[in-house]
A = this chain, B = another copy of it.
Amino acid sequence: MSKLRATAERVVIESVTPSVDGGRFPSKAAIGDPVTVEADVFADGHDSIACVLRYRKASARAWSETPMRSLGNDRWRAEFTPFELGVWHFEIVGWVDRFDTWVAGLAKKVEAGVDVSVDLVIGAGLIEEASTRADARAAKTLASLAKEVGDETAPIADRVETAMAAETVEMVRRFRDRSRATTSEIRWPVVVDREIATYSTWYELFPRSWAQEPGEPGTFADVEARLGYVASMGFDVLYLPPIHPIGTTFRKGPNNTPSAHPDDPGVPWAIGSNEGGHTAIEPALGTIEDFRSLRDAAVEHGLELALDIAFQCSPDHPWVTEHPEWFRHRPDGSVQYAENPPKKYQDIYPLDFETEDAKGLWSALKGVFDHWIAEGIRIFRVDNPHTKSFPFWEWVIPAVREEHPDVVMLAEAFTRPAVMYRLAKAGFNQSYTYFAWRTSREELTAYTRDLAAVSHFFRPSFWPNTPDILTEELQTGGRAAFIARYVLAATLSPACGIYGPAYELRESKPLHEGSEEYHQSEKYQIRVWDLERPDSLAPLLTQVNRARKAHPALQRFGPPVFHETDNETLICFSKHAGEDVALVIVNLDHHHMQSGWVNLDLAALGVGPGEKIMLHDLLTERRYQWDGSHNFVQLDPAGIPAHVFALRGHSRSEEGFDYF
């Protein structure tokens, strides 16, 4: 510790953002989105300092750099915009700038009428030094400037003017003395993803319920025939539960009954039979050619397929016999099934991440991703990642993305916050959240603020329902609840999704009172859906998704700004992206009309004092004009219990609304 390694690097760089655990994990960005970097940069004493942000793809040799600008109080900021997918690095370089210090001192001395003759000689020396760092052409100019500034026979005023001329200062700055510069001790990593990792609208469906002929099990071909239905609602990710052969041993029957009839289809997450495991396709759904056809047709509809990755095995999975060492065995010779004592899940064998053959297991699991990537899949929804070893994810996600940086993984972990955040740190590009259970204004506001604090590495996805989650609110709230919850999901979070058609058809019956499981859940049986039902919410979902597509403000997390309301059943928030501003108001009471006053934070809306506020309701196409921060709203659960406004403050009302 006491070894003397004296250094002349006087600048200190600290409190750098974005930073995840001090650079231990990457922060996240979307390609083409600027990454804003800030740091405390300072030196001892009163000298002027300068600093630059350096950035590059991790695989590149050469840094690009951009000057940082002072925000005051030792804080500096700069941005860079990654233009390629993959891991990027940034670092910061700062130095005490003798020339800037000298110019600033000279200006003050001249103003105070102090003799600056010696100062001019010092400055001439600094300009001369810059010339030695310059290219030949600039060197000549700098040498001549140095001579002028240092010319003791010339009038002081002329020499000062030359020294302080913008051209002089700029030219010297081009060739600054960075020999004593400090480089930040850490290179901060940033993972750059496709935009779809940030902004995406998911639709989950069970193909086996999508038969065109009711009564038949649905196939990939049936889904392909109905892609227009999903695409026309404005979804862009079509997520399929596991498509692999389903085990028969301990197969579950309808409503999670412990034994199945021979023709019960089983749970898609009980993966593996003698037909194959995680790389095979359930024959009832079709062939690999059918799958490829669906995948390609989806693309034509503007949809990208997302597959489910559930790293667990049915007792019939080929791995159980081929790789017994990947499972834990009980003294009676049986394989240890999943359990959460006293509950047993005998249809599921967990993989043993403490196996002696961890290397073999990890490689095989990566192989599952590789297989489907080779089949053109780039989005994976990972089932229960929090029941698999964290070091595994920390290895496999970067390993997969090193070869395919366009891969996006959504973590399905409904568990404690530290665990969910750790999975995001390990590499998951998107994460399910507690949104489904945040219902009051206070809960939604607090939860959004929690997410804002981690938004540099944890990208939320808001789902009002999933095949496992039918909330009490949806069970009891009726049509208004389904509308309100989708509006909230789709406007609070840039990534959102639903499990349909249960959602648009307002499926709301639970397995039993107090349960969040669906009655006659598709997890256990085939359902028949009437997609043409006149009371379907499909048109409303379409309208909401259209608003998202038209408004950049809704395509990034923000974070949202919450505005006061005098009625706690009304929630009001806004988001903006550049000039684009969205203002959302939702009635959280699904049974009664609610009205009240909202008190808008006009500055957050970009509305100047005295400007009128033009509002275009993107759900109803109605237009409003508001004046000032206090405004009255009334929302009826019998109609559309939400406003999604595109908004613009405007001082010249005569121009009308035509900019909408």
Contact = CB atoms under 8 A, between A and B. Distances in A.
Interface in A187-235: none
Nearest to A336: B122
A112 B344 CA distance: 12
Contacts of A118: 330-332, 334
Interface residues on A, range: 35 or more
B418 A14 contact: yes
Contacts of A284: none
Contacts of A43: 390
A111 interface: yes
Interface stretch (A266-274, A286-294, A394-402, A554-562): A394-402
Interface string A364-407: 00000000000000000000001111111001001100110000
A261 interface: no
A46 B340 contact: yes
A415 to B, nearest CB: 9
A137 interface: no
Contacts of A153: none
Interface in A326-342: 330-332, 334, 339-342
Contact of A418 (B9, B74, B104): B74
A363 B4 contact: yes
B74 A419 contact: yes
Interface stretch (A351-359, A444-452, A496-504): A351-359
Contact of A389 (B10, B125, B332): B10
Interface string A482-510: 00000000000000000000000000000
Contacts of A106: 341
Residue among A6, A111, A362 with the highest chain B CB neighbour number at 10 A: A6
Contacts of A390: 10, 12, 43-44
B341 A399 contact: no
B399 A2 contact: yes
A478 interface: no
A422 interface: yes
Given A331-B121, A416-B73, A416-B74, A359 B6 contact: yes
A342 B115 CA distance: 10
Contacts of A122: 330-331
A362 B5 CA distance: 10
A1 interface: yes
Contacts of A418: 14-15, 40, 42, 73-74
Nearest to A182: B391
Interface string A420-432: 0010000000000
A121 B387 CA distance: 25
Contacts of A104: 341
B109 A391 contact: no
Contact of A109 (B112, B341, B361): B341
Interface string A55-75: 000000000000000000110
Given A2-B399, A2-B402, A342-B111, A10 B391 contact: yes
Nearest to A150: B331
A180 interface: yes
A403 B14 CA distance: 29
A114 interface: yes
A136 interface: no
Contacts of A422: 12, 14, 42
B395 A358 contact: no
A8 B402 contact: no
Contacts of A332: 118, 121
Interface of A: 1-2, 4-10, 12, 14-15, 21-22, 24, 40, 42-46, 73-74, 87, 96, 104-106, 108-109, 111-112, 114, 118, 121-122, 125, 180, 185, 330-332, 334, 339-342, 350, 353-355, 358-359, 361-363, 386-392, 395, 398-399, 402-403, 416-419, 422
| 7 shortest interchain CB distances as A-B pairs | A22-B22, A112-B342, A6-B358, A2-B399, A105-B341, A108-B341, A121-B331
8 contacts: A2-B402, A4-B359, A42-B418, A44-B387, A73-B418, A112-B342, A114-B341, A122-B331
